Chains A and B, each alone.
Chain A
Amino acid sequence: MTASIPNQLRKAFLFRGLSSDALTALAQKVSVRTLSEGDVLMRRGETGDSLFMIDEGWFKIVAEGPSGDELIINKTGPGETLGEMALVDEAPRSATVIAISNARVLELKKDAFQEILDQRPDVALALIRGFSSRLRFSTTYIQKAIDWSQKIAAGDYGFIENTQQFSGNTESDDDKATELLSAFFQMVRSVKAREDELKQQLEKLTLEIDEARRKQEFEEITGTDFYANLKEQAKKLRAQRMSSENEG
């Protein structure tokens, strides 16, 4: 597996801008860890000091439900990176990750990583570039989400037609933002569908006739001498006009 470690590392957002040479150097600091089903890879709230890349096997990402029970947020598998921010910040782990099969992960420890940063300013620079591009990426998407939210609030769904769907893009590291936006998109679509349906209901008029009244009014009108006369006359008149036209 060692041969593919630099390529594995390249998949992490953090390492995207690194040269092959830097990646190879980084790969040498990586250690392999095997886990059995049920082993905890990281625990929410702990201060992490490693980045993990899943080489084999599957993990569940869990949070605690309101009554202390386990709530599975997501599942993750080969090729995914976990806890990469631990290498640069001091924030505690945001979720607990548990193996749901036998698994193997690549681990890069914070110390080993920082050693490289000390030795190689080019790696540090590439990392900063990586961060700033991620930041720009995030703000662009956040801005979009804000724009869309404002439009939805104003009842303007026109952008749905004018924006392409985010899908089929699962290879990229931009996945999380993309996923968020596509979930957002789904939500807007269903909100709009529901609103359309509601409108549709409003738009249908209910027209009704009181049949008893209809009959009564008809009888009142047709019950007069005038009406009887008229009906008779009308019949004659039609016949007359018919024949006079046929003559002419």
Chain B
Amino acid sequence: MSDDLYDDHILDHYESPYHRGHLDMPTIVHEDENPLCGDQVRLELLIENDRVREAWFDGHGCAISQAAASILMKEIEGKTLEELRAFQAKDMLDKLKIRLTASRQKCGLLSFKILKTMIYTLDERKGQGDGSDGA
């Protein structure tokens, strides 16, 4: 854990983000913002066989929110939905490798929060498709 918020890891992702852009045919898209700062992130995932084939993001905001999105995209490609269900906020904060104050955690966790919403949505869709109650 670094006490230096703006270390090379964060700044490299901020300046040269991984998969900033859009997918032609995303399986699911979701966006959200952090009203406090106006950070905005949109995630697009291509899911095949319950596995993330590609993950892209777009958005604007502070370095923390944008670098976190880039780090998350890199992290989740190739992962199964089962693995993403197990991925917790703490794991996300660990991936950032910096210590965030409570107010900046909102920036660092914005894309994580969006990912979690996407997974709930996918699970709901699946539940409806099966005709089961999704329990």
> Is B one of A's binding partners?
no
Residues of A within 8 A of B (CB): none
Q: Please list the residues of chain B having a beta carbon within 8 angstroms of any beta carbon in chain A.
A: none
